[in-house]
Structure 1
Amino acid sequence: MPPLPSSTASAVQIQQFYDKGLAHASYAVRCGRQVVVIDPGRDPQPYYDFADEHEADIIAVIETHPHADFVSSHLEIAQETEATIYCSRLMGAKYPHRNFDDGDRIVLGSVELHAINTPGHSPDSISILLLDELAQSRAIFTGDTLFVGDVGRPDLREEEAAGGHNRVELAAQLYKSTRNKLMTLPGSTKVYPAHGPGSLCGKTTSPDLDSTIAKELKTNYALQPMSQAEFIKVLLEDQPFVPKYFGHDVALNRLGAPSFEDSIRAVPHPGSAAALESGVLLIDTRPAAKFRAGHLPGAINLQDGGKFETWLGSVVGPKEPFYLLADSKIALDTVVRKTAKIGYEGNIKGALLAPAAATATSPAVDVARVREHPEGYTIVDIRNRTEAQVPVFETALLIPLPELRERAHEIPTDKPVLVHCAGGYRSAAGASIVQNALPGVEVLDLGEAVLEFQKQAVH
């Protein structure tokens, strides 16, 4: 993704880099010929390009916490540029670093970056306050503590792999972090979070990618006057699902990931005629129409799209090997790179072009018949629970896509099975999962036709 326009002043430049697929924002802060990178994504090249463009050196990389939803390139950048990595001592980082906690600071030319411990999203979260030449609060990089219109969810560190921390205790810490640390900053302080709309690290994130403390005090539901108990209750209700890969990425980010390009080059690329190992998942990333026309038996149709990484890490577990299939070398390279962004590239048993002679097909749905006789189908709604509060079909069985591989056996098989989601992307994956789990049953994907049924449901 190209970087968004930068914020500049006489002494300091703030550049935001936004990865829409993961709704992830990272930053380069430049003063003169020195750059500090904050929460970098897996591919370090955009930060190198930024530094080269300004004839500057990357002197530091700051991690606000060990991220759950993407793999960071902090270690690779440090090894390549000799920059120092800074993070909280509470993180337990396994790579060379300097502790960066309350009272610690980095001098960057004529400005300073100060660490502020802001636990809550995770126990080791920090925010980074930028003070200008006059020691005035210029900006706060909030990681996953404060978003535009939201705060970070406190329920991602409960797995043992992620530390085994209690969500209620973390929510209480977040209440104190927002009230005692962030909300006391001058209202003009710019807010730069690590995520934007669609991130699963929050629930109601605004489409805006930056804000100010004053605006958040006025509009952010989580910063309104309320007791700690009220805050905890409001924060914990209706949080989205937790993808399977989140705990894996926390652990990987604590260790530091290997080189992005080296990892991609290490992915095996067998020919499309190669014999594939039986029992290994097949992830077919082609468009649904191509998949239905011919695919390998047992394949899951997880189309390359805007949220491919998230859905791959929601359907496939972090220890599961899989083959990755696409219909061109360019498309294959794209999905391999997206897979690496969540640290799954080592799971790829082979990346290959989908064979032209694939024999399995999927039936097309008769939308008119569904409209006239919905009772003739077992309808499975694979949307998330919050989405499904407004049903499209009153009789539908709700099994969210991240749970479908484990729960497909719950689906009755006395009628054809009709799978739907909210817009057609997920139902392609869902129908293929159900077909594999229930051989011999007719399984249909409602696809984008669900949109017309949704209109009827609303009215």
Structure 2
Amino acid sequence: MEIKQFEDKNLAHYSYAILSNGEIALIDPARNPQPYYDFAKQHDAKITAVIETHPHADFISSHLEIHEATHAKIYVSKLLGAEYTHQSFDDGDTIKLGHSFLKALNTPGHSPDSISILAIDENGKEQAVFTGDTLFIGDCGRPDLREQAGAITSPRTELAKQMYHSLRDKLITLPDSVIVYPAHGAGSLCGKGLSEQNSSTIGAEKRSNWCLQPMSEETFVEALLADQPFVPKYFPFDVGINKKGAESFQKSISKVQHKEPVTCPDCASTLNPAILIIDTRPQEQFKKAHLKNAIHLMDDTKFETWLGSIVNPEEPFYLIAENETALNQLIERASKIGYETQIALAFVSDYGNETSHTFDTEYFKNHPDEYTIVDVRNPSEVKTRRIFEQSLAIPLYELRERCHEIPTDKPIVVHCAAGYRSAAGSSIIQSNIQNASHVIDLGEAVKTF
């Protein structure tokens, strides 16, 4: 048996191919299926099974596309309520894969329909367990994403209790030598304290993972529910798409309409002012010139997460990049969260009728009371340390809806922790508060404070 791990760093997502005697099973495949086809070709093997550990909230899976292209069976829990052709895969069910076997373990907690997959080699040895969003390295999955999404909805407290028993009754009873392969690593919003490691063992996790230590159910539930990260707007939307199965990757992104570059006022005049503008160009280009009311969401490792946190599901938007290569890459990245269908037009631009205000950092240091300071960091960051005591804390993911709370009697300075979110935040405020005379992005200068 050979196990191949695939990583999407931007979404901190791991997917897997299990190869045994010319047959491949895929687990939690990413939106673009091509890497799995390449793996199968490289090994002269056939993809015969695709397994979803649960309907994912943070990315769009290619399970249906792979089924349609290869005729591989899709296996999911019967509790998922899948709207595509599938085979139920729950406690007691096994899949023969070449000389190996895959066994289903129902492990609710992150979601009511979560399963883990135990890989058993040709000698009957339990070799690895694919834990989806149930057990991570150093943490376990959050239980608060399925209160209003999916075929089955459950209160977070009930799911947290189920997580307690899934970890203790199903996973830590496995041999210490069993390798743990999770669906996510550090940076994912599907948990709150994930390790940078991409795999571990049951034994190592029993020794070091907080959620596997001896404690009462009540203590566990309280600890698990505390300080979970925010839920991006797109999460329930993606659960719905994955429950139905998404359109094929290439077919869907090919439908995105491209416009000739916007380089002058006449070019820009054809745009609908009611449609949101997402400008992904580097900071210096945006500040020099950008379209009125554009939101500055730079091409960065967390582009997908912030796009799906700021833009509502099914809300149309224009997508701007600095060149065609970047534009095509960003369309593909938007498709990972199912947002490619919302792109009204995609185009390159170096034109703008707005510029960003320059800022005297030294004057600000000496006269902070002359400004309204808006902190767009997450609540947990603000709780740990307020950088400016008099700041108004509104997290970036709520900013579009809460701009009315910001006073406009002083210039507005926006900050985060390093500059990426404040760039987006200052542009959101500028586009939403028409009588704000000066909105300034503190940017990387916040590090000096």
TM-score, normalization by structure 2: 0.97
Matched, 1:397 2:392: yes
The correspondence of residues 19-418 of structure 1 with structure 2, limited to 5 A, is 19-160=8-149, 163-271=152-260, 272=262, 273=267, 275-354=270-349, 356-389=350-383, 390-418=385-413
Deviation string, structure 1 residues 36-56 (Cα, Å, up to 9, x no partner): 100000000000010011111
Q: Quick one: which of 416, 431, 435 aligns to 1:436?
A: 431
Deviation string, structure 1 residues 200-242 (Cα, Å, up to 9, x no partner): 0000000101000011111111111111011000000000000
Contact 2:103 2:119 survives alignment (8 Å): yes
Name structure 2 gaps, 5 residues minimum: none
* Structure 1 residue 16: Cα displacement: 0.3
Question: Structure 1: which amino acid aligns with 2:372?
Answer: T
Once residues 421 and 151 of structure 2 are traced to their aligned partners in structure 1, the CA distance between those partners, rounded to angstroms, is: 27
Contact 1:161 1:248 survives alignment (8 Å): no
Identity percentage over the alignment?
57
The count of aligned residue pairs is 441
Contact 1:65 1:126 survives alignment (8 Å): yes
Once residues 195 and 107 of structure 1 are traced to their aligned partners in structure 2, the CA distance between those partners, rounded to angstroms, is: 26
Once residues 185 and 395 of structure 1 are traced to their aligned partners in structure 2, the CA distance between those partners, rounded to angstroms, is: 52
Deviation string, structure 1 residues 99-125 (Cα, Å, up to 9, x no partner): 000011111111110000000000000
Contact 2:80 2:152 survives alignment (8 Å): no
Contact 1:69 1:245 survives alignment (8 Å): yes
Instruction: Tell me the SS of whatever aligns to 1:249.
Output: helix
Instruction: Tell me the SS of whatever aligns to 2:379.
Output: coil
Question: Structure 1: which amino acid aligns with 2:139?
Answer: D
* Structure 1 residue 306: Cα displacement: 0.4
Contact 2:81 2:151 survives alignment (8 Å): no
* Structure 1 residue 327: Cα displacement: 1.1
Contact 2:408 2:435 survives alignment (8 Å): no
Larger mean CA deviation between 251-260 and 358-367 belongs to 358-367
* Structure 1 residue 277: Cα displacement: 1.6
RMSD: 1.0
Deviation string, structure 1 residues 284-320 (Cα, Å, up to 9, x no partner): 0111211110000010001110000000000001021
* Structure 1 residue 278: Cα displacement: 2.3
Contact 1:88 1:124 survives alignment (8 Å): yes
Contact 1:263 1:345 survives alignment (8 Å): yes
Once residues 358 and 416 of structure 1 are traced to their aligned partners in structure 2, the CA distance between those partners, rounded to angstroms, is: 22
Once residues 405 and 376 of structure 1 are traced to their aligned partners in structure 2, the CA distance between those partners, rounded to angstroms, is: 24
Once residues 127 and 25 of structure 2 are traced to their aligned partners in structure 1, the CA distance between those partners, rounded to angstroms, is: 16
Question: Structure 2: which amino acid aligns with 1:384?
Answer: N
Contact 1:156 1:162 survives alignment (8 Å): no
Match of 1:7 in 2: none
Once residues 194 and 348 of structure 1 are traced to their aligned partners in structure 2, the CA distance between those partners, rounded to angstroms, is: 28
Instruction: Tell me the SS of whatever aligns to 1:147.
Output: coil
Deviation string, structure 1 residues 234-282 (Cα, Å, up to 9, x no partner): 0000000000000000000000000101111000112232611221100
Question: Structure 2: which amino acid aligns with 1:434?
Answer: I
* Structure 1 residue 162: Cα displacement: 6.8
Question: Structure 1: which amino acid aligns with 2:52?
Answer: E
Contact 1:64 1:125 survives alignment (8 Å): yes
Question: Structure 2: which amino acid aligns with 1:283?
Answer: I
Instruction: Tell me the SS of whatever aligns to 1:317.
Output: coil
Instruction: Tell me the SS of whatever aligns to 1:295.
Output: coil
Deviation string, structure 1 residues 148-173 (Cα, Å, up to 9, x no partner): 00000000011256743200000000
